[in-house]
A = this chain, B = another copy of it.
Amino acid sequence: MIDTPGRAEGWVSVFAPASVSNVGPGFDAFGFAIEAIGDTVHARLRSEPGVRIVSITGDGGALPREAERNTASVAAASMLRRFSAPPETPGLEIAVDKGLPLCSGLGSSAASAVAGAVAAMHLVGAGREVDVTSPEVFEAALDGEMVAAGGRHADNVAPSLLGGFVIVRGVDPPRWARFEPALRCHVAVVTPQIEISTRAAREALPESVSLADAVRNWSNAATLVLGLVQGDRDLVADALVDAVVEPHRAKLIPGAEAARAAAREAGAFAGGVSGSGPTMFALAENEMAAAAAAAAMAEVFAGEGLASVSTTTTICPEGARER
């Protein structure tokens, strides 16, 4: 794998897609990968042990350059530990190209962690075929994500690693159910330029929920998956509602409710807050409706005095892959 044509000087490059997590009623459980945007991690072996970050682009200088504080390098280091015995532990140099805005609710830290773990597996996988469904990669990516998220959350890691729509079943050991929705849909994602502190997002979470709200959410969660699998748009539209977490999180995003309504008005059939926000997403039947929904949401945010970045994309069946 080293020094083959196109991999000059032993670099391997891995792309991991952005992801929309929670997806309405599936807080901490649901996520899907999206096409077109994501992070790329380049890595190569070096003789000294340990992981060193040689460059980060696309983050405007915001991410820590210390290897022990960056999700990509922590995930890569975790892979190194899993696949090499101490005396001959190799080291890695990595370079991170951020294609994703930071702290946006699109799984930016998870995408870097996943790309870091998979790139490291390509280099130190001991001749094994690189299998993104192997528990080691998943666990290494979770180790990376933990640096940013403060906990072992898999609802962005799983779709970024595996592609498609993923239901997280557990993290220790990693367990998941993955499927590719039969429902063809286009996805609008709009990220208003505000920062939501991790602490504020966490503090907005209720510790407990009423049994009635919980019932509503598991009815919605099951119906959402049924609608996606069976290609039933009306079920998805009816079920992509979160009674438990999103109402609290939407309060931190100026114009969130109005943006959601505007997206529907513009032709989207469902939508909500992506992850912990501030990105809002909307699902639409075709690209034109998705673009109209994105424009409508951006206009609402503009009315709140917020610039925003919009993308229209699709659910991505593929997860992390070599570039």
Contacts and interface: CB of A to CB of B under 8 A. Distances in A.
Nearest to A208: B208
A244 B214 contact: yes
Contacts of A179: 226, 230
Nearest to A168: B219
A139 B26 CA distance: 30
Interface string A219-247: 11111111101100001001100001100
B30 A167 contact: no
A258 interface: no
Q: Size range of the interface on A?
A: 35 or more
A207 B211 CA distance: 6
A78 interface: no
Given A214-B217, A215-B28, A235 B177 contact: yes
A222 B167 contact: yes
Contact of A226 (B207, B210, B229): B229
Interface string A154-180: 000000000000011100000101010
A222 B176 CA distance: 12
Contacts of A235: 177
A217 to B, nearest CB: 5
A316 interface: no
Interface of A: 25-30, 167-169, 175, 177, 179, 205-211, 214-215, 217-227, 229-230, 235, 238-239, 244-245
